[in-house]
Amino acid sequence: MVSRLRTGFVWVTALIIFGFLFYEARRASVSLESAEVITGWCLLCLMVFLALFNIRKKLSMLPIGKAETWLLFHTAGGVLVTAVYWLHVGNLWPLGLYEQLLALLIYATVLTGVFGYVIQRTYPKRLTQTGVEVIYERIPREVSELRDQVEDLVLECTEKTESETLGRHYVDTLAWYFRRPRFFSHHVFGSQHGRQWLRQQDAAVRRYLSDDEKVYLDQLIELAEYKNGLDTHYVYQGVMKGWLLIHVPLTVALLVTSVWHILLVHIYAL
């Protein structure tokens, strides 16, 4: 209940701010004043406020508000920035080359911000559903150790059952799967293609195996399912770490370009 009230308060506040700016911009236009000055400075202040969120995450030990509250303000602020920008320029895409660069940076920053918000809200829940807990930097080593374990299992099956069916299937198909994390694009969008592919491989070879070989196949598929969980962590954790490498530089570039834009406007005004 408290969370919903806080969310509603933040979005209503953003709406009130935009309504006030819209009114002031129209009043300035009627009074033959420069509405772009009002909206421009407000836009810069909003972008600086949004940039503070990254600083807040690095100073998590300080009692300056919950990260969830900051994220809520950051999300509402991102939407407000887009609306104020449209109010500032008067259309979706400006004409000047420098103004187009600013527009491109704003849209790219907002879109990467939306993408980051979505993955931060969905990926952690999906990771818990895998039943696997692993540190991102250890995943390549985990995959390597798992591959060695699978190959030992296949060799043991070949020696004890005196049959090469499972071994040939591993060399022809599953060795590719265990070599490194797979199905990156499918995991990004939450697809279960990896598990479906494993079921297909299981069904394709099971019919040709003896009862003794099927015992080894069951163990192999269990390890393959664990590998699918590692792949999911590799993709999700990698994306959650990597999107900031795009979003933060875009934010910095946008701030620098905006400040230079203000300087140019005031220099020409003189």
147: nearest Cα among 131, 164, 170, 166: 170
Q: How confident is the model at residue 46 (pLDDT cuts 50, 70, 90)?
A: confident
Q: Are 251 and 54 in contact (CB under 8 A)?
A: yes
For residues 231-258, give the mean pLDDT: 91
Q: How confident is the model at residue 264 (pLDDT cuts 50, 70, 90)?
A: confident
Q: Which of 46-50, 161-165, 177-181 has the lowest mean pLDDT?
A: 46-50
Q: What are phi and psi of 207, to 5 degrees?
A: -65, -20
Could you tell me how many residues make up the chain? 270
User: What is residue 105's predicted lDDT score, i.e. its pLDDT?
Assistant: 93
User: What is residue 64's predicted lDDT score, i.e. its pLDDT?
Assistant: 63
233: nearest Cα among 102, 143, 100, 115: 143
Q: Are 136 and 232 in contact (CB under 8 A)?
A: no
The residues, ordered by sequence, that sit 6+ positions from 166 with a Cβ below 8 Å of its Cβ are: 154, 157, 158, 205, 209, 213, 216, 217, 220
- Out of 50-59, 94-103, 120-129, 196-205, the most confident range is 196-205
User: What is residue 53's predicted lDDT score, i.e. its pLDDT?
Assistant: 75
Whole-angstrom distance, CA of residue 168 vs CA of residue 174: 9
User: What is residue 60's predicted lDDT score, i.e. its pLDDT?
Assistant: 58
Q: How confident is the model at residue 168 (pLDDT cuts 50, 70, 90)?
A: very high
Pick the more confident residue, 151 or 58.
151
Question: pLDDT at residue 119 above 60?
Answer: yes
Q: How confident is the model at residue 270 (pLDDT cuts 50, 70, 90)?
A: low
User: What is residue 27's predicted lDDT score, i.e. its pLDDT?
Assistant: 80
Tell me: the pLDDT tens digits for 219-233? 999 999 999 999 999
| 169-203 as b/e: b if 16+ CB within 10 A | bbeeebeebbeebbbeebbeeeeeebeebbeebee
Residue 172 corresponds to which tokens in the numbers above?
């022809």
Report the percentage of the chain scoring pLDDT > 70. 91
Q: Which of 20-34, 88-102, 154-168 has the lowest mean pLDDT?
A: 20-34
Residue 128 corresponds to which tokens in the numbers above?
């818990």
CA 234 to chain centre: 13
Q: Where are the domains of the chain?
A: 2-130+247-269, 136-240
Q: How confident is the model at residue 88 (pLDDT cuts 50, 70, 90)?
A: confident
Which pTM was predicted?
Answer: 0.80
